[in-house]
Amino acid sequence: MDWSVLLVQATMNGLIIGLLYLLMAVGFTLVFGVMRMVNFAHGEFYMLGAVTVYFFTGVFHLPFLVSVALTFFGAIALGALMEWLILQPFRRDELNGMIVTVGLAMILQNVALIIVGPDPLSMPAVAEGTLQLGSIVVPNSRVYVVGFALLVLALLYIFLRYSRPGRALRAVVEDFEIASIQGIRARIYYPLGFGLGVGLASIAGALMAPIFSVSPFVGAAPLLKAFIVVVLGGLGSIPGAAFAGLVLGLCESYASLFFDSSTADMFIFAVVMSMLVLRPKGLLGRGEA
């Protein structure tokens, strides 16, 4: 087979995966930036997004875009509520708060198992047909997914950059102490940060549901990836998470052309450990070690 075709195909796949990692990682770093807490339940929100979208489209027969939007806002609301109800007492106790998110993850996954069962479900296709780009063939469904993902990112960018709550949120993420001195109120921004963070995870799950399968177990891998990306990009850096997400997606895609996956995975974890020890701020981040 022609190398250039393989390469372009790998690039396309890499970008799609990269977008997924980006969404997961930005959400994860948002939660870390606002709450200084590692959210071990992040993967389960991805899973919830996938399962919810499956129900909306498969059972209630709503259009895909509507389902995704509902999932997104539902997740934000659910996340904010959980932060307010469950995580609030741990706002100054990140270590125990982290263990609480472990408990949360257990609950979410097993509730899903009870409702949906362990077997993978496949979603009805988002769109039929394929798109021809030169010698590359891309299924339309993937095109739609990429399109929606880019739309979400654009909206997120506008929110974080141009809206007051968005800018305040960024301020909290980028420098927590200065933000609290300036009186940005924790009462609003903790639930908002957590809600938006897990909302992004849910949207990643929702968007990827048509591409990958849907089951209560799909959350574990994205959690690991989010975590890797965020460390590489810098805990607490939104642009770092975005950049590192795309880079990781592309690297993995190219690497799969040459290496087998477990060697690549080991290498990545070794890099993660080294980063945490040598440069916890990540490649671009500015968070304190």
Partner 1 sequence: MTSLLSNVIPQERKNWFWLAVLAVIAIWPWFSGIFVLHLAILTCLNILIVNGLSIIGRCGQRSFGHAAFAAIGAYGSVLLATLANWNILLSGLAGMVLSAFVSFLLGWVILRLKGVYFVLVTFSFGELTRLALLDWSELTGGANGIANIAPATIMGFVFDTRPRFYGLALAAALLSIWLMKKLFSSHFGHAIDAVSDNPALAESTGLSVHKIQLVAFVLGSSLAALGGVLLARYIGYISPESFNTSASIAFITMFVIGGQRSIWGPLVGAVVLTPLPELFRGAVQTQNIFYGVALILILRFMPGGLVSMMDWLKSFRKARP
Burial class (CB in 10 A: 0-12, 13-18, 19+), 181: exposed
The residue among 90 and 243 lying less far from partner 1, judged by its C-beta, is: 90
What residue type is 207 in one-letter code? L
Q: Tell me: does residue 221 bind partner 1 (CB under 8 A).
A: no
Q: Between residue 3 and residue 42, which ones bind partner 1 under the rule CB under 8 A?
A: 36-38
Q: Tell me: does residue 107 bind partner 1 (CB under 8 A).
A: yes
At 139, give phi and psi (nearest 5°).
-60, 140
Only one of the segments 2-10, 139-147, 161-169, 272-280 lies at the binding site for partner 1 (rule: CB under 8 A); that segment is: 272-280
Q: Between residue 230 and residue 249, which ones bind partner 1 under the rule CB under 8 A?
A: 231
Q: Tell me: does residue 62 bind partner 1 (CB under 8 A).
A: no
Q: Which of 96, 122, 163, 182 binds partner 1 (CB under 8 A)?
A: 96
Q: Tell me: does residue 177 bind partner 1 (CB under 8 A).
A: no
The residue among 123 and 232 lying less far from partner 1, judged by its C-beta, is: 232
* Centroid of chain to Cα 154: 15
Residues in the chain: 289
Q: Which of 70, 94, 166, 217 binds partner 1 (CB under 8 A)?
A: 94
Binding site for partner 1 (CB under 8 A): 36-38, 86, 89-90, 94-96, 98-100, 102-107, 109-111, 113-114, 224, 227, 231, 262-263, 265-266, 269-270, 272-273, 276-277, 280, 289
